[in-house]
Amino acid sequence: MHPTESRILQLLAKNPEREFSTSDLVKRVFLEEYDEIQRYIHNEPDDPELKKVGKRKKARLHRKLLYHLNKLEEEKILVISKVEGKGEKFFNLNSKQLSEGNKKNKEVKTMIDSVSHLNDTSVLLAGIEEFEEKKIIKRFDEKEWTNKINSFIIRSNYCNSVKDMYYLLLDIYPVFNDVVGLYGFEHLIDRESILELNNFIKKIDLDTKDYNKHINLIIDISKVQDSVKLTDFIATFCETNPERIFIMFRANTKSFNNHIRFMRQMIKYFSENRIKINMQNLDINKAPYLVGRAGAYTMPIGDWVEFEDYFLEKTVGVCFSETSLYVDIYRYFKQGLPLSGLRDFLIRASKALLLATTAQRKKSDILFSNLNKLNGKYQSKFFLYSFNYIRLWNYDVDMHNEGSQKSDEITIEEFITILSSIVEEIDEFCKSEETVFKSCGIPIRFRIALSSAFRRFDKGFLSERAYKKININHISDFNSDEIIKFMRKRESLLRVFKGGDRIRFFRSPSFTPDEIVDEFVYVMNSFNIPFFTYDFRERKGEVTLDNFM
Amino acid sequence: MELIKNDALSLWKESLRYVLSKGEDYKDNDGRVCREVFNFVMTLSEDATNIEGPIDLMRKSKIWIYPSKEELSSIMFKINQAPIYEYTYGGRIFNFSGQFDQVNEFIVPLLKKDFSSRRAVMSIYNPLQDSDINNRNTPGIIYLHFRIKENKLWVTAHIRSNDLFFGWPANLYQLYELQNSIAKELKIEKGKLTVISDSAHIFLDDQDRINEVVGVLND
């Protein structure tokens, strides 16, 4: 690409919301030459000859620029956004055209993306820089913080085959930085041969490793037409044992009981291969759950029902999360910061998220052009229900108190009450910002959800785990005081963690599938827990089977 | 009721005061108490000043984040609508229904051809898209009417629902910028800018903040 064209495009990419006139572009693209011309035109002795030279040079510079502008316009990389005065043209990037996949466009897009990335490393955390420096807060995927969305689902019936789905995924990997859920994956299981499905899993296993992304296959047990085939698929899936592909089973107690035979088989395959089982209880929440590198995602049931009723079949899917921040609660208290300051800190974090979404919005036509194409005229609906996340890590203040670090001596119950009132305040802030922006003719959706963080997203940043993991030996463990207390605590937290949470049980190794089936049924019937995970990895070096640090 | 001022900040202040003292209360769908005046008319005279004053004041707040002038202007002039928005004024003005540039294909040529035309109406509301009972995001500004009087461009804007506290500073700035741009195209001066609000309202839970701002404005 010609250096002049490259400079023009970089300038436009840095300011995607602005339209540039040719006069503006001349000044900025040919900075040095333009300065020199100005010296001629405004020369000190006011020599008319020098002025003439300056004007000639200026006209030449305009012609030079226009040559490249016209070329870029002919190639449809730029568009003329308006013409003013004596025919002065204003230019903009042609985001629609750039989504077309020819070689030149790809070159331009890569260049534009790299410029956008540079922009985004600039500080958007106004007001919370000090917490960032103290490693209390961090942006999820710092480099791409506002360039990519975190998570969304796409409906599997958008594609007729796993081959189509594979190509669709290839198109959308650049758009997200954590997880995509294939909603209703049973549709593709019913349609495709085991061989095709197996090939698909193997291919996306490689891709997700290469791109460091996660894929969730969301399977509703009650909608499976051929449970024998589903069992065969599970067997091959477990053989492949993909690192970044998780299956999310959805069932209510009735459909679970109707598929006991499948469940037994599935538990056998998963536990033998030490693969976690993710189970969503549809009796409690119908909105899908996703699990990525960052943590769990979901949306409020009311939003999901509305989306399902009006837009599910009109869009390719729906966005769950745009941007995320992490807060290390243990480190917050360890640094001697007061509990009374937590509210102000989280509100400031919310303001940072608003600024981040503003930055993301400005570029959304370019950044998400692949998705926009898929959603057609319903593209705004894709973003209509999304949240921004504040994920908390090491928030079990009971455990802080047991250690050397005191968290103002409060109990977890008191902490949850405080968090709950902070969430109310954050909700108020979001609501009033939506009102402010809508009143100004900028109809945005801006919501924030709290959730828990997974440490695996950034072990180098997050403090060592300071909370108990729960281990199950036998169904009777669910009746122990400790586990009942733990479950009630998690139920209370779920009222605060609107963005979804995952409750993980480590299962000690000696069991039969029937025992696990009974435990699942027990959990689904006894606790108000919409989503839980059974982890069959052996926990080494631990003497008791109850609690672990 | 019509208020006429040349200073945008004073016009805003007077309007807020008027609605606070004369408005009627009702509860909206979200349970918020709204105080409103029907068919309220605010006119900024041709020697307008302090257009950015209300925005600058709103942006000083530490409680909320007010959109930047850059974003407000971009919303009014950007042809390609970002997909995250349900609608944008720029999209409706320069690319209505994806096919019609109302400024350059209609308003400007019409007024150039016929200085006294009363047909230079620009529609922002699109019934095919907005008249949907499930759509909660429809434009506040419904239409604009451009007229040339005394060789100046007069603009009348009709706003169906006008949050006088949060919305008006932005709306006025956006309309003024558009008036300015079209007047330049027509090579004439700007004239009066009139905003007719079907529902000029404030929310009573914002009253403390409004009193604070009105207090500042009193200085």
DSSP assignment of A397-465, as one string? Answer: HHHHHHSS--STT--HHHHHHHHHHHHHHHHHHHHHHHHHHHHTT------EEEEE--GGG-TTTSPPP
Does B70 touch chain A if contact means CB atoms closer than 8 Å?
A: yes
Q: Which residue has the higher pLDDT, A405 or A34?
A: A34
**Confidence tier at A544 by pLDDT (50, 70, 90):** very low
What are the pLDDT digits (tens) for A450-462?
999 998 878 888 8
Residue ranges per structural domain of chain B: 2-217
CB pairs under 8 A between A and B: 116
A53 CB-contact burial (10 Å; exposed 0-12 / middle 13-18 / buried 19+): middle
Q: Nearest CB to B83: which of A355, A379, A436?
A: A379
Q: What distance in Å separates residue A391's CA from the closest CA in chain B?
A: 22
Q: pLDDT above 70 covers what percent of chain A?
A: 89
What are the pLDDT digits (tens) for B124-157?
999 998 998 878 789 999 999 999 999 999 999 9
Give the per-residue pLDDT at A543.
Answer: 33
Does A365 touch chain B if contact means CB atoms closer than 8 Å?
A: yes
Cβ contacts (< 8 Å) between B87 and chain A: which residues? Answer: 443
Pick the range with the lowest mean pLDDT from A232-236, A394-398, B65-69, B95-99. A394-398
- Kindly report the CA angle at A445 between A443 and A450, in degrees rounded to 5? 160
What are the pLDDT digits (tens) for A275-323?
999 999 999 999 999 999 999 999 999 999 999 999 999 999 999 999 9
**Whole-complex ipTM:** 0.91
Q: Which residue has the higher pLDDT, A165 or A87?
A: A165
Three-state SS at A173:
helix
Does A446 touch chain B if contact means CB atoms closer than 8 Å?
A: no
Does A87 touch chain B if contact means CB atoms closer than 8 Å?
A: no
Give the per-residue pLDDT at A115.
Answer: 52
Answer whether residue B219 shows pLDDT above 70.
no
**Confidence tier at A408 by pLDDT (50, 70, 90):** low
Give me the mean pLDDT over the A148-177 stretch. 93
Q: Nearest CB to A361: which of B66, B77, B84?
A: B84
Give me the mean pLDDT over the A132-143 stretch. 89
Cβ proximity of A179 and A213 under 8 Å: yes
Give the per-residue pLDDT at A113.
Answer: 59
Cβ proximity of A442 and B75 under 8 Å: yes
Give the per-residue pLDDT at A121.
Answer: 44
The dihedral sign for the CA sequence A309, A313, A314, A315: positive
- Give the residue carrying structure tokens 């009573």: B204
Give the per-residue pLDDT at A120.
Answer: 47
Q: Which residue has the higher pLDDT, A423 or B87?
A: A423
Does B185 touch chain A if contact means CB atoms closer than 8 Å?
A: yes
3-state secondary structure A210-227: HHCCEEEEEEEHHHCCCH
Can you tell me the distance from the alpha carbon of A305 to that of A472, in angstroms, rounded to the nearest whole number? Answer: 34
Contact B83 A96 (CB under 8 A): no
Task: Find the closest chain A residue to B83 by CA distance.
Answer: A380
Give the per-residue pLDDT at A195.
Answer: 95
Does B174 touch chain A if contact means CB atoms closer than 8 Å?
A: yes
Contact A439 B85 (CB under 8 A): no
Give the per-residue pLDDT at B160.
Answer: 96
Instruction: Report chain A's mean pLDDT, rounded to a whole number.
Output: 87
Does A443 touch chain B if contact means CB atoms closer than 8 Å?
A: yes
What are the pLDDT digits (tens) for B171-216?
999 999 999 999 999 999 999 999 999 999 999 988 888 888 777 5
Can you tell me the distance from the alpha carbon of A172 to that of A207, in angstroms, rounded to the nearest whole number? Answer: 12
Give me the mean pLDDT over the B94-106 stretch. 93
Q: pLDDT above 90 covers what percent of chain B?
A: 74
Tokens, residue A88: 């002065």
Give the per-residue pLDDT at A51.
Answer: 87
In angstroms, the Cα distances linking A541 to A57, A546, B88 are: 79, 13, 60
Cβ contacts (< 8 Å) between A355 and chain B: which residues? Answer: 65
Contact A441 B81 (CB under 8 A): no
Task: Find the closest chain A residue to B76 by CA distance.
Answer: A441
Residue ranges per structural domain of chain A: 3-118, 129-457, 469-548
Cβ proximity of A535 and A506 under 8 Å: yes
Q: What distance in Å separates residue B23's CA from the closest CA in chain A?
A: 19
Give me the mean pLDDT over the A385-401 stretch. 85
Can you tell me the distance from the alpha carbon of B120 to that of B108, in angstroms, rounded to the nearest whole number? Answer: 8
How many other C-beta atoms can be found within 10 angstroms of the C-beta atom of residue A537?
11
- DSSP-assigned letter for residue A77: S
How many other C-beta atoms can be found within 10 angstroms of the C-beta atom of residue B143?
15
Contact A351 B86 (CB under 8 A): no
Q: Which residue has the higher pLDDT, A428 or A144?
A: A428
B2-217, superfamily in CATH?
Thymidylate synthase/dCMP hydroxymethylase domain (3.30.572.10)
- DSSP-assigned letter for residue A337: -
- Give the residue carrying structure tokens 């492949």: A240
**Confidence tier at B63 by pLDDT (50, 70, 90):** confident
Does A90 touch chain B if contact means CB atoms closer than 8 Å?
A: no
Give the per-residue pLDDT at A126.
Answer: 67
- By DSSP bridging, strand A296-297 and strand A290-291 are antiparallel
Q: Which residue has the higher pLDDT, A83 or A513?
A: A513
Pick the range with the lowest mean pLDDT from A87-96, A154-163, B187-196. A87-96
